[in-house]
Chain A
């Protein structure tokens, strides 16, 4: 092999992937951004018309529902999953003999597809034969649990299902964090007679701040991208009561044939993701390069 080629080899090996990322990530984002500024319907058009699609988007009651749902769903999901994850991690951190087995059980839903999770919870929560009928069968004739078909409550069933799926993962993150706290400090505190709950609240949890941030980023990311779970569990319904930005985008792109709206909603989703992720990644990369 000639020497110049040998020297350029690393760059040549990296080049195809780099070009692929440039074209298929950044080029495609640019394309979508461009189309979001046009009056494209079924076919893309390339004459820039300004922000018409965005004003149409923000005036759309369906998009309004989708964004409201994202806020309610996202906040509830992130808060409950973090609290539950932290609680389970602390409970598991007490020298539990069967820790390995319990951890395996708590985490397995993460291996499932959201479609499987949605299918399972759709069956459990269906009012006719599921949980409601079962509890009524126990003699509580008036028991009602019809959230799945109740437009005001259906979004909370999505929260229930995603917490079941992801809280074990948050537990695993926090457990790794608890284990990384310096054992000497904890021992010293125990010697000083500081109660366990104080050790956790004053020493252990504050030192885990980076893990909280990571967990928040991952969960927020998961919430914004949520698509399959809603499709499988509620199909976005009743009506479009459980629409999220991702299902709105999909409906515009593939069933309504409104490329302009699909592109504009995708761009808004990306901006929301980047508002959460970019500061985090930026600080991570900077910290690493220093």
Chain B
């Protein structure tokens, strides 16, 4: 833009303003592009089926109706059962809460050991865990299905919690390790001189410092587990499915009239928890995303 400054001042000012205006217009158009699908989902979920068939995709609802939401929540059919999303929504809650808590705690302890109590082989262990984050889960699907069967956990919620904890450890350890590695090693040395032990140092020194990374990890794990479909569809059975699997069943069930408004209401319900987390704690969400991708 400095090249414009060398031409005559009034024209430059005008050019500059035109450029700024175009810039905002383009950014605005892209904002529309990202928002439009959400807008279409929301308006479709508030229309009656007749209005959907008669009207256009992007028209606002003429008569707002909330009955698709009620149907999606408590009576839409996922195959032969017609109880709506509600039981599956609670399944997802029951899976996510313990799985997030356990994997975060394990990650914190692992990260603390790897970053601050280095012993021979610790780096190798960390590398092995890190590679584990990248495997396509298809490669563990078959043996895990057999193992869950042998443990009597096939198709159960504890089974899904177990799977999510196991395959979450890699990322949670990575998050905490990268956070704790920035804390000077002298701190541990000094605490040891004062007679503090392994757990004492963790509880009184590291844990109080950990709030930001705990928030990042919890948000990351919650989003991953809530949005998971592969494990959910592979390791659940008729009453234990998570909400993503139930949503897919509602949308792709072939029986009866296609109720697009109910589909859209169900999709929004399934998306709400992670959307709320994003809106409330977006900063931490983005930090987790970039930390999870730009390792180290």
A interface residues (Cβ-Cβ under 8 A, vs B):
1, 6, 9-11, 13-14, 16-18, 20-22, 24-29, 31-32, 35, 44, 88, 91-92, 94, 96, 102, 104-117, 119-124, 129-131, 133-134, 137-138, 164, 168-169, 172-173, 176, 190-191, 193-196, 211, 214-215, 217-218, 221, 224-225, 227-228, 231-232, 235, 245-246, 249-250, 253-254, 259, 262-263, 265-267, 269-270, 273-274, 277-278, 281, 284-285, 288-289
Contact = CB atoms under 8 A, between A and B. Distances in A.
B140 A228 contact: no
B67 interface: no
Contacts, number: 271
Interface stretch (B74-82, B123-131, B205-213): B123-131
Please provide the 9 A-B residue pairs with the shortest distance between their CB atoms, ordered closest to farther.
A113-B227, A10-B117, A111-B278, A228-B229, A25-B132, A266-B138, A28-B140, A134-B57, A218-B293
Contact of A168 (B34, B136, B296): B34
Contacts of A250: 138, 141, 230, 233-234
A160 to B, nearest CB: 10
B56 A259 contact: no
Interface string B84-114: 0000000000000000000000100110011
Contacts of B146: 44
B1 to A, nearest CB: 5
A26 B286 CA distance: 30
Contacts of A130: 57
A6 B198 contact: yes
Given A108-B279, A114-B229, A120-B37, 10 more contacts: A91-B27, A119-B266, A120-B264, A123-B263, A164-B33, A176-B290, A227-B230, A246-B138, A246-B230, A273-B135
A69 to B, nearest CB: 16
Secondary structure of the B contact surface, majority rule? helix
A21 B132 contact: yes
Contacts of A102: 27, 31
A28 B26 contact: no
Contacts of B268: 116
A225 B134 CA distance: 10
Contact of B41 (A13, A111, A120): A120
B290 A119 contact: no
Given A32-B142, A123-B41, A190 B2 contact: yes
Contact of B139 (A32, A105, A123, A169): A32
Contacts of B119: 10-11
Given A32-B140, A115-B244, A168-B34, A91 B229 contact: no
Contacts of B144: 24, 28
Nearest to A120: B37
Nearest to B271: A116
Given A20-B166, A115-B244, A284 B295 contact: yes
Contacts of A221: 134
A107 B286 CA distance: 9
Given A14-B110, A108-B34, A228-B244, A266 B136 contact: yes
Contacts of A109: 34, 37
Interface in B144-185: 144-146, 166-167, 169-170, 173
A168 B169 CA distance: 27
A281 B131 contact: yes
Contacts of A225: 136-137
A245 B141 CA distance: 14
Contacts of B69: none
A133 B56 contact: yes
Contacts of A20: 166, 169
Nearest to B22: A91
Contacts of B271: 111-113, 116
B34 A17 contact: no
B129 A18 contact: yes
Contacts of A10: 113, 117, 119, 198
B238 interface: no
Given A119-B267, A265-B138, A104 B282 contact: yes
Interface in B1-47: 1-3, 6, 23-24, 26-27, 30-31, 33-35, 37-38, 40-41, 44
22 contacts: A13-B110, A32-B142, A91-B27, A96-B24, A106-B30, A107-B278, A109-B37, A111-B275, A111-B277, A117-B37, A119-B247, A120-B267, A122-B251, A123-B264, A133-B57, A191-B2, A195-B1, A217-B293, A232-B251, A250-B230, A281-B131, A281-B134
Nearest to A227: B230
Nearest to B268: A116
A250 B129 CA distance: 25
A235 B252 contact: yes
Q: Which of B135, B233, B274, B279 has the most CB of A within 10 A?
A: B135
